[in-house]
Amino acid sequence: MTREEFHSVRERFGKTQKEMAHLIGVSLKAVQSFEQGWRKVPSHVERQLLFLCALKKGMKKSLLPCWESCNCPMEDRKGCPAWEFRAGQFCWLVNGTYCKGRVKKTWSQKLESCKKCKIFQPFLEG
């Protein structure tokens, strides 16, 4: 997550830097450092922010689970944590998911792929 993305999320939430720090469980200095680009936003903070974005946006009842929307074969579904934990609309939040038949090894690789996905994109929209 870039400093601009972090700042944009904070503004979308209507939070001050201090309020954001409390919300995500970090210091005010950490939030300031993320926004100034002095520190990289840690993956656990990014995950939490994206999850909160999704909650704020609300679930779409019409949105199919990822395995149906992407027509995943049953053999991929059975080995995928999104299928196992029935996280079809939150597949982007779960590491080790099968996306187009492949597992992304790191959070940043996974998120790069997810940002292009029709499951994840609705949660990013303001």
The answer on pLDDT for 59 being more than 70 is: no
Share of the chain above pLDDT 70, in %: 94
In a shared domain, residues 73 and 25: no
Residue 9 has pLDDT above 90, yes or no: yes
Name the domain count of the chain.
2
Domain residues for the domain of 7 are 3-57
Q: Say if residue 49 is in the same domain as residue 81.
A: no
In this structure, the dihedral spanned by the alpha carbons of residues 34, 109, 65 and 53, taken in order and rounded to 10 degrees, is 10
For range 29-43, the mean pLDDT: 96
Contacts of 3 (CB under 8 A, 6+ apart): 34, 35, 36, 37, 41
Domain shared by 119 and 75, yes or no:
yes
pLDDT value of position 60? 62
The CATH code of the domain that includes 43 is 1.10.260
